[in-house]
Amino acid sequence: LASFLGHRTLFVGVRMPRQSHRHHKPHGSRHRKRDRRARTDKVSCVCSPLVLPSHPLTSSDTPSQRVQFILGTEEDAEHVAHELFTELDEICVKDGKDAEWKETARWLKFEEDVEDGGERWSKPYVATLSLHSLFELRSCIINGSVLLDMHADCIEEIADMVLDHQEASNELDDSVRVKVREALLKRHHHQNEKKKNLMPIVRSITEGNRKQSEPQLTGGTLGYCTTHVLSHFLYFYVILNSTLSRQVDLHFMKKIPEGAEASNVLVGELDFLERPIVAFVRLSPAVLLTGLTEVPIPTRFLFILLGPDGKAQQYHEIGRSMATIMTDEIFHDVAYKAKDRSDLLAGIDEFLDQVTVLPPGEWDPSIRIEPPKSVPSQEKRKMPGVPNGTACQVEEELHAEYHGPELQRTGRLFGGLILDIKRKAPFYLSDFKDGMSLQCVASFLFLYCACMSPVITFGGLLGEATEGRISAIESLLGASMTGVAYSLFAGQPLTILGSTGPVLVFEKILFKFCKDYKLSYLSLRTCIGLWTALLCFVLVATDASSLVCYITRFTEEAFAALICLIFIYEALEKLIHLGEVYPFNAHSDLDKLTLAYCRCAEPDNPSNKTLELWSERNVTASAVSWTNLTVKECISLQGQFVGTACGHHGPYTPDVLFWSTILFFSTFFMSAFLKQFKTSRYFPTKVRSMISDFAVFLTIAFMVLLDYAIGVPSQKLKVPSKFQPTRDDRGWLIDPIGRNPWWTVLAASIPALLCTILIFMDQQITAVIINRKEHKLLKGCGYHLDLLMVGVMLAVCSIMGLPWFVAATVLSISHVNSLKLESESSAPGEQPRFLGIREQRFTGLVIFLLMGCSVFMTGALQFIPMPVLYGVFLYMGVSSLKGIQLFDRLKLFGMPAKHQPDFIYLRHVPLRKVHLFTVTQLTCLALLWVVKTTPAAIIFPMMVLALVFVRKLLDLCFSKRELSYLDDLMPEWKKKNLDDASKTIEEVAQSTPTLSLICFLLFLSLVLRCDPSDINISDEMSKTTVWKSLNSNQKDTRPVAAKKASHILLFLTPVIWKYSRYTL
């Protein structure tokens, strides 16, 4: 028995008895009957699979439970669900006049109707259906023909099989069969077709061959195939040669996903019919039916509804209901997997269970609902429910605490590093192949400009702090070397390395210490760097990166928000600083404008540096004609400018500050506008996408040209022009000891410990932000490998006397945002779906290679205005704030509850708790800001580390459920217990007999209470007056036994329902 239950499908082959057919009146030929029987055999199955479900269905199961069971069955090659394109065609035949099928609506995701004028499609909108039409559709499926897995090659065979089935079930009179068949084979006119095209040629040839391929001729199937093949050739000839007439069609074809299939809904009124003809057909395999569908894709489903004259609007609404329900994600899957009529009914009932009814007096059905920006996931409709939600709750907690294999401690030396290498090695070649994209070109052009300025600025500040020992050229070389090595070998190449504020503070403190105690700064710095690299290796060897799992969203957002705010603050600060260099004259006395002057003069109190410069150039101050010097000569000789028309650094230049302000804000707004251009309504999709990808680069290029054309002397980017150390007394290799005592090598381990914490926290917090599950990364990450590469390059930069570089948060976020992937073939009205990030190494590699070559591109880079780069900084800071939940929660202060957005945490967490969490996070952010912007910035990494402990203290104020919505759950020892509990629940659920469980639940529902979620909509719907009236109009053709069983069921259901209410 155990081995028998272990197999879900058992194939039983039996000999089927010859089926009886009702006798027909002779029609002059017997071939038609014989041929019809041969075609009908294609629908019946000789060998049927006997499925032994692990969860047998019972009459008490709700439609949702039945659908979940259907979707849980094993798939085969013929029943794999595909994306569906649904087309609604209508026909009207009156008084024997010639008619044709006309396309009236289509669905890919949302409904599009042919407007009343018949010349254009409507905007996509959410289909609104009447409940009555849904009931009528359900009645059609119950009483109509359901032909599943029909084998047919052309529309003629499908029509004959449908009509055969209708005749066999006494639903169609033989006298109107020919007319109905002719109506089904009428020409289909699609909205995209022009008046003059070659489609009538195809139809005329097809019509001409139909007479030769009538069923009464021997070998009729050969005629079908001949016509079918010929039509195929002509159809593709039309596509290739009538480009103008099929242009709209081919454009729409691009929006259809690859591998999609068609669902054709054919409804109409025929004046010679007395009763409706309904058929639901599923073809196996899908067949390309020439001319039937607007686009050349194979047809899988057909729904046919032809009825008497006078009910066109009713048939139209039923057809809309069928087409709309086919676009539903759940019914779509049910239609592919359905074994019989009852499965389709279960899908319809489950759909009815989920629909929302709008009151007739409060809503106008003619109003078209705009498609939503995001559609909720339907996965929960596929998942079976568990009583009391125990298993679901455990699963949710386990999912919230799970951090992936990257952060699991292995317990072996370098175990995490080895796993990172094994994880990333299979994707190494694809990391370069995936970079061959136009999007990557736009990304590295944008980030190259964005990275150049901070690297040069950082080098300039470091040069001022270290008296030129490490300056701009060293910063460029260090950034290039570190970035190239990191891009080639790191575990997460999407991370961009850069300079950080705490590192600059550390360098300043170290240089002052060395200057006070007469030590060699570069030698001591080399020792500290080597010690820091060694400690990073120790952290890698001991899997210390697994501690990153304690860095939750609370810490991530505080850190990321701080860096973004610093970018915004520093961009504005640099703009304001331009006002000091290029001031504007306020309260000017224009009457004395003719007396204004600016001359060069000998400095009153020359500094030692100035005197050394004069002595090197053999210049005597008294011998210099200061008043005749040009501005550049005066600056080179360290002269001073005097006069009312002088500024701080030379003659007053008007309009520079205001022009810089215009460039600054224009760069910011233009970058933001072009980045959002993808969602605008102008230009084709590819053009909009390209403009959005190149938004920042196009903005920089435009602003550079505009600045050059206007001619205002704004401040420009200064790049070193020579590849050599800034000072002549140092080389590219630094002695770790030099003139320092030997004990400094050992003493350097103390500041190296603080430096290691700084490097570790900056690197790993940024890596956690980049590796968020929201980014849908597929190639995995490598925290241990990242830290190893940072440590290796830290040692190299220390020996060469270059600055240290670590992950830059804002630059990395901007890099990820520039590489977002969205679905190319989105349905009309549907927002492009976010697919993930283009994971590759190409952009980082090219960015830092170009940065190293910037020394040789000075001639071009010197035209870039600094205010433009400051505007780029502002844009990166503001754009990186998007998605940070902290700022969403800040907007809730002072906002009435009725105007608050529908955030998930507002549904499950009291508002006062949300505000308490926000205030706590905001207080930590303010403390970080204070520490970051003061001389105490050296302890900034320790403050970031303290956030982890603050987050742990929140467990005392918030429940675990509240924190699961506001923040990630902390990993703790209960994880194992939760996992064991989940496994226990699954084992009990599998071992407990299903029937006993159902009986027990029924007992509870009768004795305790009635759960609304357990109401069976199928049973309740059968009691409604609407359904009874629909049933009364249909002829009950079921066997007697089935009638009795249904009567008993209908009798018992109200009794049980009333009894359950009575026991309450």
**In this predicted structure, what is the pLDDT of residue 647?**
66
What does the pLDDT look like over 710-722, one tens digit per residue? 888 888 777 777 7
pLDDT-based confidence at residue 827 (cuts at 50, 70, 90): low
Query: What are the tens digits of pLDDT across the range 207-257?
Result: 444 443 344 333 343 344 444 444 444 444 444 444 444 444 566 777 788
Q: Provide the mean pLDDT of the chain.
A: 74
The whole-number pLDDT of residue 15 equals 36
pLDDT given for residue 321 in this prediction: 92
Between 842 and 563, residue with greater pLDDT = 842
**Tens digits of per-residue pLDDT, 333-366?**
888 888 888 889 988 988 888 888 888 877 787 8
- Taking only the tens place, the pLDDT of each residue in 778-821 is 888 888 899 999 999 999 998 888 888 888 887 888 888 888 88
Give the number of other CB atoms < 10 A from CB of residue 165.
Answer: 20
Within 10 angstroms of residue 756's Cβ, the number of other Cβ atoms is 23
In contact, 487 and 841? CB cutoff 8 Å: yes
pLDDT tens for 528-542 read 889 999 999 999 988
Q: Which two tokens stand for residue 898?
A: 């009725």
With 60 as the cut, is the pLDDT of residue 179 above it? Answer: yes
Give the pair of three-digit tokens for residue 85.
Answer: 């394109």
Sole residue written with tokens 């004795």: 1007
- pLDDT bracket for residue 176 (50, 70, 90): confident
- pLDDT score at 639: 82
Interstrand relation of 277-287 and 145-150 (parallel, antiparallel or unpaired): parallel
Q: SS3 string of 781-837?
A: CCHHHHHHHHHHHHHHHHHHCCCCCEECHHHHHHHHHHCEEECCCCCCCCCCCEEEE
Alpha carbon 44 to its chain centroid, in Å, reads 44
Segment 1004-1027, tens digit of pLDDT: 343 334 444 445 555 655 656 555
CA distance 514 to 522: 9
Q: What is the pLDDT of residue 36?
A: 42
Q: How far is CA 110 from the centre of its chain?
A: 20
DSSP letters of 529-573? HHHHHHHHHHHHHTTGGGGGGG--HHHHHHHHHHHHHHHHHHHHH
| Confidence band, pLDDT 50/70/90 cuts, at residue 302 | very high
The domain ranges of the chain are: 77-191+260-362, 437-578+719-823+834-882, 884-970, 992-1063
pLDDT class of 202 with cuts at 50, 70, 90: very low
Q: Element (H or E) spanning 849, and its range?
A: helix 842-852
Which of 251, 260, 258, 268 is CA-nearest to residue 288? 260
Q: How many CA atoms lie within 13 A of 159 on its CB side?
A: 21
Q: Mind listing the pLDDT tens digit for each residue in 600-634? A: 888 888 877 788 788 778 887 777 888 778 877 88
Q: Which CATH class is domain 77-191+260-362?
A: alpha beta
Identify any residues that bridge with 973 across adjacent strands, giving them in sequence order. Answer: none
Spell 674-688 as b/e; 16+ CB within 10 A means b.
bbebbeeeeeeeeeb
**Range scoring the smallest mean pLDDT among 17-21, 275-279, 459-463:** 17-21
Q: What is the mean pLDDT of residues 900-913?
A: 82
pTM: 0.63
